[in-house]
Amino acid sequence: MHLILTGATGLVGSAVLDAMIKTKDITKISIISRRPVKMAEDAKDPRINVILHKDFEKYDSELLNQLQGATGCVWALGISQNAVGKEEYVKITKDFPLAAAAAFETLPLSSPSSSSPSPDQNKEPFRFIYVSGEGTTTTPLSSKPLLSRLTTPWFAIIKGQAELALSQLSSPTFVPFSMRPAFIDAAAHPAIHPYIPKVSGLYTLSNCVLGPPIRAGYKKMWSPTEHLGKFLVEMAMGKWDETIRKEAEASNGNGFEKLEGGSVVVGNEGWRRIASLEG
């Protein structure tokens, strides 16, 4: 099985790469990155191919040829809304994944047991896993009460727009999912500590203050990176397809939401429950 990863130098991407390396069923890992990926270099894993790429809105034939046979992607590329201006945030958060999805949609499909393109009709769909965030909304601001319109954060609107746009690409051969982690916590995941980005003192302080009560008493908002990375990889492999579809069809506010177009949003409470991380 051949999977694609973006955002491999970030917090979530590092967790996903760690999980991919530990998953023996994955035969090839293609990382698309603007810069070298230290974890990949240190792993010395022959399955890993780091593709240095500068323009995440364009994918030429040379790059796509290196992705032949891929059956899934975890899109973990992202940035804080406070780190860039609004225009740049929209580009990174919405335009980049949409451009990639449109390009990956053209990749020849593969049979489930092969890493090379298969001509037969029994083909594995391509799964595109978009890492969004808890608090994201797909409800138009115009439909919200005035107070909500004034208090909804910018990231929630843009990520919601990206989720909806990706959903419109849904087809039997291209299956997008959106995943909304909440308090992303690498405290108990030492394997990625040398590789995660340095953060501000204020961020570290907030983690120290919020971490203990969330871990102890508000676990539905807790996203421990080791479990999160593993779950995202398994989503890209198709291991949760049936369970997620059933949960979305139940449509009872259980941590899953089916969007117009057919895609499913997996909330933090939802993935924790089906992965048996409740309690």
- What confidence score (pLDDT) does residue 120 get? 45
Please classify residue 197 by burial: count the beta carbons closer than 10 Å to its beta carbon, then call 0-12 exposed, 13-18 middle and 19+ buried. exposed
Q: Given a cut of 60, is residue 119 above it in pLDDT?
A: no
pLDDT, position 113: 52
Using 50, 70 and 90 to split pLDDT, how confident is the model at 133? Answer: very high
- pLDDT tens figures, 10-44: 999 999 999 999 999 999 999 999 999 999 999 99
CB 198 within 8 A of CB 133: no
Map residue 95 onto helix, strand or coil: helix
Concatenated DSSP letters of 26-88:
--EEEEEESS--HHHHHHT-TTEEEEE-S-TT---HHHHHHTTTEEEEEE-----TTTS-HHH
Per residue in 135-189, pLDDT (tens digit) is 999 887 777 777 777 778 889 999 999 999 999 999 999 999 999 999 999 999 9
Determine the Cα–Cα distance for residues 223 and 233; give it in Å rounded to an integer: 15
Q: Give 84-113 pLDDT, tens digit per residue.
A: 999 999 999 999 999 999 999 999 877 655
**pTM for the whole thing?**
0.92
Distance CA 271, CA 267 (A): 6
- pLDDT on residue 251: 66
CA 201, chain centre distance (Å): 26
Terminal CA-CA length for the chain: 33
